[in-house]
Structure 1
Amino acid sequence: MHAPRPSHAPEFKRLAQYIRDDAAGAPLVFCPSPGNWGDSLINAGSRAFLAHLGFAYVELRREQILDHPDLASCHVLVGGGGGWCEFWHTTPELVSSLAPQVRSMTVLPTTFGEPPTQPEPTEGVRLFARDDSYSLDNRPDAIFCHDMAFHLSPDPVDDPSSGNHLSAFRIDKERDQASARSEDPANRDLSLEGNGFSASSGFYDRLREFDSLDTDRLHVAIAGAQLGLDVTLYPSAYPKIESVYRSSLEGTFPNVGIHSHEGPVR
């Protein structure tokens, strides 16, 4: 089985067509996601997607975008991720502030948490969800597409036989509060060793040191899956992990299993 990559994932092609239709020839501005090192995979995947589909664009970070001299004529692509929930709400705040100032907008695949983090649907703003269950329950106006990190195609580890195992559990407020895994002295929250603008290649290189991992970090799991490592995914503080696993990992990556609250599943 293969990852849902651009050559055979219809969701990415549908996303591209919506962008073309909604932009209608307007200049594109890509505003990448800040955050931890895992978010760098989202940003790198977004850039790879835009390049693969032949989109010309200008990239501006959140602190730069309001300085664009002609924002009202632009179609803005807001980077996706997990910043739209009770724990992190910077993305809906950005969308609410930008929407009146731009021609139109696409929010790239995002997890949409439960209200009240949701601004009302806004004309000219199209939302994409990175899972086809939890997020769509919360935002029925969103459209499913895989997380943009799935648009990356790193070379898999040829022979993962080092015997090295990584435990990479969150130590921030999104961790599973009922679990003590993040308190294990051997735990290494790899995603905090870089940020959303660090090189995604370095993230993959760190993971190449291992041949198996346990994590509740979504992009540690996605990167490990792409590299062919033996991955066990654990839930975090809200249903993001399980919903993306069911939408994009289950049945596609046989090297990935999930340990739900009820027990392990493979």
Structure 2
Amino acid sequence: MIWCQFGLSLASSATRQLLRHFGLRWTTFHPFYDRPDDVDLDCLLLFAGGSMGSDFLPALRIRQAALATGLPCTILPQSFVTPEPGPWERVFVRERASLTHAPGGILVPDVALGYEFSIPPSPVHERAVCLRLNGHSAFPHKKYPKKFDPAAWCYSPEEYIAFAAQYQHLITDRLHLAIVGLGLGRRVTLLPVSYHKNRSMWETWLRALGCEWAERPEVVRC
């Protein structure tokens, strides 16, 4: 079992936990630098927690290189901005709206929803408003000039979790920060991004877990 993952993230840690839980044998494989003949390959598992059909070229090129190996490639739970043809062995989709762009996709939760969190310390701050600084933001810098995005300086899942644990209430358009907050038992309000992902994740899974929804951070009640 070979797992191809771009970067380190909560989703990658959750994927490792999942593979260990089921006793699967895996290693990290990068199709730009590694050769299939160098390891005993069964299949490639690609990218949990990202966006297919998006304009993020590094991830797209890795997927294309993975397909070029000729090995069966399975897409771990993702959203779809637009369709992205394979051929894929299997495609797991993490929210209902993206199924429109992934015919034959299998609806399953985001892998981060299965992450095993440790018991957190008590929060020390009332709330944090965290808005993404990069692509897919629905909140322009001109209107929100003081954006605060912990993803810009949290470089590991442990740092992300430690940040979130400080707050009683997280208001964010960062989907995985919202999932971390829920996993830590915090109050969480999810905000939209520029496409359907966050709203659809909220409707598909997060609302039932106690997550709140707001269209803008300034309308969230205390």
TM-score band, normalised by shorter chain: 0.7 to 0.9
Residue-pair matches, total: 219
Cα deviations across residues 53-90 of structure 1 (Å, max 9, x unaligned)? Answer: 0001111245434x343479530111222242434244
Indicate how the Cα distance of structure 1 residues 179 and 245 shifts in structure 2: closer, same or farther if over 3 A, else same: farther
TM-score by length of 1: 0.73
Q: Does 1:102 align with 2:75?
A: no
Residue in 2 that maps onto 1:249: 206
Name the amino acid aligned to 1:154. F
User: What corresponds to 2:10 in structure 1?
Assistant: 41
**Where does residue 47 of structure 2 map in the other structure?**
79
Q: For the residues of structure 2 that align with 1:81 and 1:141, how far apart are their CA atoms?
A: 19
TM-score, normalised relative to structure 2: 0.86
1:194 and 2:154 aligned? yes
Structure 2 residue runs without a partner (length 5+): none
Gaps of 5+ in 1: 1-27
Once superposed, what is the RMSD of the aligned Cα atoms?
2.6
1:32 aligned onto 2:2? no
1:130 aligns with 2:103: no
Task: State the AA in 1 paired with 2:94.
Answer: R
**Equivalent residue in structure 2 for 1:56, among 25, 41, 49:** 25
Comparing 100-109 with 223-232, which one deviates more in the overlay?
A: 100-109
Which structure's relative contact order is higher, taking Cα pairs within 8 Å and 6+ residues apart?
A: 1
Distance across 2 between alignment mates of 1:142 and 1:43: 21
Give the corresponding residue for 1:7: none
- Write out the 4+ residue segments of structure 1 that deviate beyond 6 Å after TM superposition: none
The match for 1:176 is: 138
Distance 1:86 1:95, change over 3 A: closer
Asked whether the equivalents of residues 72 and 101 of structure 1 are also in contact (C-alpha less than 8 Å), the reply is no
Partners in 1 of 2:32 and 2:151 — Cα distance?
Answer: 22
